[in-house]
Amino acid sequence: MTNTSIIRFMLNGRKRFGVYAFCAGTFLAMCGLMYLAHYLYSMRLPGRYLTGLFVVVSMLLFIFSLWAVYRMHKDGLIGVIISDEGVTDLSTGYYVGTVLWKDIERIKVMDDLENLNYQYVVLVVKNPNQYIVQEKTAIKRRSLILKFHTYGSPICISTRALCCTFNELYSAINDHYRKAIK
């Protein structure tokens, strides 16, 4: 029997609050726009079609926010899972699956280009395209391609949405990686 160790880093309260607040905000905006659209249509006032378009957009945003809340709870409010198999990052919204230790060439630390207070643990993988094509949406695939060109890998993990320090995350990933490549 093998001894498996799994480390889970939870999503921080700020990330959870942000998702809930976005969901509530889109719901309130949708309700307000629906009321306004009803009023404009009943009085046959100008702007009713534009308001109707805004209602449709707000409904789509609300459905998207409900999906984000569902995914967050489906994953058990877990942001990163580090196991003997590899690393699974659920905090970013990219669902590329588990990055296997055998696929990682090296681990490097890079500063976030937008906010120098944050750093990324960059997992340089042997076949980055394999992880890019696993993402289902074109916008997220494009974002992963930009990360690959900017940081040298599409797999970049930050503590921005996690309940841990950067050193805790980096040492956990590095320790598991060293055990796996032995």
**Beta 104-111 vs 119-125: how paired, if at all?**
antiparallel
Ordered per-residue pLDDT tens for the chain, 182 residues: 455 688 999 999 998 999 999 999 999 999 999 999 999 989 988 888 999 999 999 999 999 999 989 988 988 889 999 999 999 998 888 878 899 999 999 999 998 888 888 899 999 999 999 999 988 889 999 999 999 999 999 999 988 889 999 999 999 999 999 998 87
111-151 confidence digits (pLDDT tens): 888 888 889 999 999 999 999 998 888 999 999 999 999 99
* Cα–Cα distance for residue pair 102/142, rounded to 1 Å: 25
Average pLDDT for the chain: 90
* Cα–Cα distance for residue pair 43/37, rounded to 1 Å: 10
For residue 11, the 8-state DSSP code is B
- State how far the alpha carbon of 123 is from the alpha carbons of 1, 44, 148, 174, in Å: 29, 58, 10, 10
Which H or E run includes 99? strand 98-100
Give residue 9's Cα distance to chain centre: 14
156 phi/psi in degrees, rounded to 5: -125, 120
Q: Which of 72, 75, 97, 95 is CA-nearest to residue 87?
A: 97
